[in-house]
């Protein structure tokens, strides 16, 4: 199948590569064209504008940083919406607000095209290994066309009904839960450190007993060692997602005090120039509050 792929960061590049390896022909666009070099060597075609990645009745995937970036590649005369004709499908794999998802779904519907929200859980290493967990929401017939492609990029796809907003809000809920895990592990490790127990020992006990999940194991290693220099997910993006969670909660009248606290935790880390570190670097603020760093 000829497919468009827009956004070749750490996640998008890995997913596009997996599609090529499964035999699909890709037209790709990225703000920094150099990131597409190895994909071009594998047979992909690099285009000059997002809309050029689109076949009028084909499928185009986007994996970009935030709502503004998604709006930018979708709208305008050189954007996806202008080129994607009746029968075309835009699959958005970014973590964005429910409002952006709803608005873009309506924009495509006006032109006879379809919109699928398919955000993912997993870091770049999981994307490279095609081990992502992928959410998928949109019209049933459209989902049926898209899911086989998503299955080449992940270990499991979770259909969430006809409304694309469902995938966006579940993704935000999941990222909020990860924020809570980061904070809980950081606080527990810091408490034990204050009592003379090595952070690594504490984390090893927890992740080899009652919290033996991939999330706790992988994040626990980073928090135990204060190893945040090679981000799988940047702290600045965690801050973005905390804002999205709080905005969605405000609209739905859902108090989320932990989300408010994590927003402030990330904000404090951003003020200390930690936005480019892994988002588990919020644990540094916990240690500093306890007088350890």
Cα distance between residue 102 and residue 275, in whole Å: 29
Which of 181, 186, 272 lies closest to 235 in space, CA to CA?
A: 272
Cα distance between residue 176 and residue 181, in whole Å: 9
Cα distance between residue 241 and residue 234, in whole Å: 11
Would you call 171 a catalytic residue per the annotation? yes
Q: Per the residue annotation, which of 171, 194, 221, 234 is the catalytic one?
A: 171
Which of 9, 11, 43, 15 lies closest to 27 in space, CA to CA?
A: 43
Cα distance between residue 120 and residue 112, in whole Å: 26
Integer-rounded Cα radius of gyration of the chain? 20
Q: What is the DSSP string of 183-210?
A: HHHHHHHHHHHHTT--HHHHHHHHHTTT
Cα 136–chain centre separation:
13
* Cα atoms in the Cβ-side hemisphere of radius 13 Å centred on 171: 32
Catalytic residues: 171
């Amino acid at each position: 199948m000829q497919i468009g792929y827009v956004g070749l960061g750490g996640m998008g590049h890995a997913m596009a590569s997996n599609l090529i390896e499964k035999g699909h022909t890709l037209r790709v666009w990225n703000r920094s064209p150099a990131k597409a070099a190895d994909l071009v060597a594998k047979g992909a075609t690099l285009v000059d504008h997002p809309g050029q990645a689109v076949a009028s009745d084909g499928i185009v995937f986007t994996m970009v940083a935030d709502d503004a970036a998604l709006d930018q590649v979708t709208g305008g005369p050189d954007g996806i919406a202008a080129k994607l004709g009746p029968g075309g499908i835009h699959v958005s794999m970014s973590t964005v607000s429910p409002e952006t998802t709803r608005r873009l779904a309506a924009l495509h519907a006006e032109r006879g095209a379809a919109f699928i929200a398919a955000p993912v859980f997993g870091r770049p290493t999981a994307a490279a290994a095609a081990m992502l967990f992928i959410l998928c929401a949109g019209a049933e017939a459209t989902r049926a066309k898209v899911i086989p492609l998503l299955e080449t990029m992940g270990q499991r796809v979770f259909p969430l009904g006809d409304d694309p907003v469902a995938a966006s809000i579940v993704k935000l809920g999941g990222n909020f839960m990860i924020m809570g895990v980061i904070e809980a592990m950081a606080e527990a490790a810091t408490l034990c450190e204050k009592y003379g127990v090595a952070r690594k020992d504490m984390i090893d006990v927890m992740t080899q007993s009652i919290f033996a999940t991939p999330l706790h194991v992988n994040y626990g290693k980073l928090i135990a060692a204060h190893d945040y220099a090679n981000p799988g997910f940047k702290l600045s993006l965690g801050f973005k997602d905390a804002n999205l969670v709080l905005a969605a909660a405000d609209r739905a009248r859902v108090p989320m005090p932990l989300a408010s606290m994590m927003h402030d935790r990330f904000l404090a880390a951003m003020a200390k120039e930690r936005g480019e570190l892994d988002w588990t670097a919020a644990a540094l603020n916990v240690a500093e509050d306890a007088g350890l760093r």
